[in-house]
Amino acid sequence: MKKLEAAAIVKKLETKVDRMIGQIGSKSPHFAGADGIYDDSSTDWWTSGFWPGILWVMYDMTGRSHYKEAAWLWDERLAQWFDAPSEGLHHDVGFQFLSTAVIKHTITGDPDGLRRGLQAANYLAGRFNPAGSFIRAWNGDAFGWAIVDCMMNISLLFWASRVTGDPRYRNIAIRHAETTMTYGVREDGSVKHILSFDPTTGDYLENLGGQGAAADSAWSRGTAWALNGFTNTYLNSGDERFLITAKRIAHFFIASLPDDYVPHWDFRLERFENEPRDSSASAIAASGLLTLADAVPAKEAHLYRNAALNILHSLSEHYATWESPGQEGILLHGTGHRPQQHFVDGSLIYGDYYYVEAIAKLNGAKHSLYVFGSGE
């Protein structure tokens, strides 16, 4: 296990994020390439909640009010898309509103955060296909698709059940998780990205490679989404099946890591030479592993916690941009969609977010987004 000084990293993050506030301004960042400058995506894009999420977690971790002030209006900015024509809003409203409206309400009690979070939960619940017991992914004509990423979004439904007392949100989340567990997780703990169902009958048809190398490969970030998502589902439901699944995925992820604990973009490439790493996969997994460590007995917890610490040490020492003020992102060498050559080998705002979230967990922040696990 590598030594990790979480308190020292928090100080580095304060300096870094303070600089990012000035550099990013009103942008909705997603990817920073070779020039180190974050792009400005539309606020209906699925990553639009992660920059304000960083600000909220920094506020929770430090109590410094300028982070709250910089984050405050973001849920209002994103909620405009519920009243405007948009092909951007889909199953990822969980990513967008958990890290804005929900954490805002959780920390401050803001009623508008509550209202917007529930609006997003209703939107997500409305995408549920009862014939196949899955939440439909994306828009367009892919009516029967579900994806592993959505295991993260269903935390929005568990939250909505807690704050309203209405079990319907929770029931949808559990049924989607059961479907993903049945069809999307292999016996060895690797996962599939896209699951295709007949949208009318609900019959399972096939899986597709998506952002992985092939249908039978093991996309590393998808593995991290599943690890995190099934852990949260267990904490919300108490159902041991989801814990067993989370542990199986965690064991596959840990066993597949290279020496520096940061995987390539897929664990099953024919050859790894000259293929990019994905630091975001490790950051997402580290945050999930810390939550998993807290969910199991102490005799098991050390495996998951030590793996998370090793990952975070490597990211902090070899992938972070502490000494590069011109780099707007926190982590380098993230890979978005390698098969389509989109967003390859740069900074990804969700990698930055989950790195900050993991450090917040280590540093004892009270709310942050791991509140989406077991409750507020």
Q: Which residues are annotated as a binding site for substrate?
A: 92, 149, 221, 225
Instruction: Say if CB 222 and CB 148 are below 8 A apart.
Output: yes
Q: Please state, in angstroms and rounded to a whole number, the distance separating the CA atoms of residues 199 and 252.
A: 31
CB atoms within 10 A of CB 206: 11
Catalytic (active site) residue 92: yes
HSE-up (13 A, CA, CB side) for residue 312: 32
Name the catalytic one among 60, 92, 266, 352.
92
> DSSP letter string over 1-41?
-----HHHHHHHHHHHHHHHHHHHTT----EE-TT--B---
Catalytic (active site) residue 294: no
Instruction: Say if CB 11 and CB 60 are below 8 A apart.
Output: no
- DSSP-derived secondary structure letter, 332: -
Helix (H, G, I), strand (E, B) or coil at 331: strand
> Residues 21-33, buried b or exposed e (16+ Cβ, 10 A)?
bebbeeebbbbbe
* Residues assigned a catalytic role: 92, 149
